[in-house]
Amino acid sequence: MTWTKLDKFCLVAAIAALLALIFPLAGVDGDTGKQVAFVGDIPGLAVAMALCVIAGSAFTWLGVGSVTAGMVILAIAVFGCWQAISVLYDYGVAGYAGPGFWLFIASLWAFVWRGIDVIANFHSLDRTKQHLANFVVPVAFGVWLLFVWEVVVSGFGVPQVLLPPPSMIGERFVNSTDILAADFHQTFVKAVLSGYVMGCGSAFIVAIAVDRVPFLKRGLLPLGNMVSALPIIGVAPIMVMWFGFDWQSKAAVIVIMTFFPMLVNTVTGLNAAGKLEKDLMATYASGYWSTLFRLRLPAAMPFVFNALKINSTLALIGAIVAEFFGTPIVGMGFRISTEVGRMNIDMVWAEIALAALAGTAFYGAVAYIERKATSWHPSFRVRRH
């Protein structure tokens, strides 16, 4: 077998794991002057490292051709990750991780990459299998990133005011659900939803009105396009002055932020219907409203949903940033800015995780409705006859 045919990732994994067995696992504790832990004292870790050496060298020769082989590799890597975490927390290596530990992590990294690689290149005609593979890859990658975050932060003993490990954030998230729920209610349910509905709704109605006046359309459209490039978020302090500290001022910011994307998209969408289709409606002597509802609005739907999706993220950003300018003592933006001040960075991260979840769910919901409402659109078509 030639050098090029060897599986280089597995080779790296094997060598790194072998070196991990040789190099010291952990550094020296300053107080006791002794090394914190030895591989020999931790059977689970020793087994994991040995497994990595064996599997690494075996797959270096065999190659990782099949998904099964990829799964085996990933399974070994998962076992390794579990041992690494337990070493950090159960054997006090956290903060004292030495070269042996990091070599082991490098070995795991090579395995995970190779395993994900195999599954990513998996092609199947069976659609469920393909979907499963397409789902597993990003999830595995995300979990791996979380693991690296955890291990690096704990292993190097990064002070938690800088960056807490994900486990700590998760714990904080679970323990402060009541605060998070209150913040969510204040920011999302009250401010975001009402502002979003008002902003998008009014822009939609204005767009239909503007569409009837070509002069206005030509005047407003370039301005509307320009406005979307401006830092509208800056109106937040003004809105806080006008509408007070509570959710109304945040909703007002959101209305302003969401108005123009919706206006521009709807006006563009109303002109999206083809010439032939418009002629068709003319041959039926179809009136303005009839043509609007039967042809132009349905044809505009992809554009409208595009704006709805853009606005779903804008709305949440608007609410959170507006809260930096003043709120009652509840709300996601308020929590972030005050907990940052108190250096409770784990709480900040929990709040960010909540914002991420809310943002993704909101966007996902709009995208889901879009898929249902405009399933006819070429971008959603699936051949199914």
Nearer to another protein (CB atom), residue 21 or residue 210: 210
Nearer to another protein (CB atom), residue 163 or residue 193: 163
What's the closest the beta carbon of residue 84 comes to another protein, in angstroms? 21
| Cβ–Cβ < 8 Å for 256, 235 | yes
What's the closest the beta carbon of residue 156 comes to another protein, in angstroms? 13
Nearer to another protein (CB atom), residue 54 or residue 282: 282
Q: Cα–Cα distance between 89 and 94 in angstroms, integer?
A: 6
| DSSP-derived 3-state class of residue 63 | coil
DSSP label at residue 246:
S
What's the closest the beta carbon of residue 324 comes to another protein, in angstroms? 5
What's the closest the beta carbon of residue 328 comes to another protein, in angstroms? 16
| DSSP-derived 3-state class of residue 227 | helix
What's the closest the beta carbon of residue 154 comes to another protein, in angstroms? 18
Nearer to another protein (CB atom), residue 44 or residue 298: 298
Nearer to another protein (CB atom), residue 1 or residue 162: 162
Token digits of residue 157:
């003993």
What's the closest the beta carbon of residue 7 comes to another protein, in angstroms? 14
Report which residue type is found at 119.
Answer: I
| Cβ–Cβ < 8 Å for 270, 316 | no
Residue-level length of the chain: 385
Q: How many CB atoms lie within 10 A of CB 293?
A: 11
Q: How many CB atoms lie within 10 A of CB 124?
A: 12
Nearer to another protein (CB atom), residue 23 or residue 324: 324
Compute CA distances 223 → 219, 230, 260, 355, whole Å.
Answer: 7, 11, 9, 31
| Cβ–Cβ < 8 Å for 340, 349 | no
Token digits of residue 310:
């853009």
